[in-house]
């Protein structure tokens, strides 16, 4: 059975490349997914990519992913006050890598650095642009192979 990892993106990331490119860059979510699919395929992993602006949909995907090989999540706006997303993350039994494209600790609004979802993550990648997603796939591949 091919190990399966989930790449989940939260609110407004469907507009990646258009929304505030001075912060998030010009790459699109399709670019991110394509890059991650290439890395996953190189490691023999199946990658499910999803994006939602709806909290209930994110929770459903987390429930579905909870016993798979790994989850990469950019919770975006769900990071700050969405306790149901945090609760769903806490039910996930596999490694979770939380990714933020910008460095949330250097952003203009202090509240952005207070992500409640981080407590459920195995690790966090923040501020490395879309390359953070690649590093998350590489980490999970190493973890699945027993190397991390």
Question: Are 13 and 54 contacting, i.e. CB atoms less than 8 angstroms apart?
Answer: no
DSSP state of 53: S
User: Which pLDDT score, from 0 to 100, does residue 85 have?
Assistant: 96
Q: In what order do the strands lie in the sheet with 123-126?
A: 46-51, 4-9, 70-74, 96-100, 123-126
Which of these is catalytic: 26, 100, 105, 135? Answer: 100
The per-residue b/e assignment along 49-79, b for 16 or more CB within 10 angstroms, e otherwise, is bebbbebeebbebbeebbebbbbbbbbbebb
Residue 85 burial class via C-beta count within 10 angstroms: exposed 0-12, middle 13-18, buried 19 and up: buried
> How distant is the alpha carbon of residue 131 from its chain centre?
12
The per-residue pLDDT of the chain, averaged, comes to: 94
pLDDT in tens, 26-79: 999 999 999 999 999 999 999 999 999 999 999 999 999 999 999 999 999 999
Q: Which domains does the chain have, with CATH numbers?
A: 4-103+118-144 (3.40.50.9100)
100 noted as active-site residue: yes
Render 93-140 in DSSP notation, one character per residue.
-S-EEEEESS-TTSSSSGGGG--GGGGG-SEEEESSTTHHHHHHHHHH
* pLDDT, tens only, 93-139: 999 999 999 888 776 666 555 788 999 999 999 999 999 999 999 99
In the set 22, 24, 80, 105, the catalytic residue is 24
């Amino acid at each position: 059975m091919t190990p399966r990892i989930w790449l989940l993106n939260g609110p407004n990331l469907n507009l990646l490349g258009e929304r505030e490119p001075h912060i998030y860059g010009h790459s699109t979510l399709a670019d991110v997914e394509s890059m991650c699919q290439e890395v996953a395929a190189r490691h023999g992993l199946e990658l499910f990519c999803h994006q939602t602006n709806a909290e209930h949909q994110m929770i459903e995907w987390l429930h579905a992913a909870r016993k798979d090989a790994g989850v990469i999540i950019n919770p975006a706006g769900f990071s700050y006050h969405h306790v149901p997303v945090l609760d769903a993350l806490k039910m996930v039994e596999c490694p979770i890598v939380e990714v933020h494209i910008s460095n949330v600790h250097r952003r203009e609004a202090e509240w952005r650095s207070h992500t409640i979802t981080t407590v459920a993550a195995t690790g966090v990648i923040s501020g490395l642009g879309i390359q953070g997603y690649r590093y998350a796939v590489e980490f999970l591949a190493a973890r699945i192979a027993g190397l991390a």
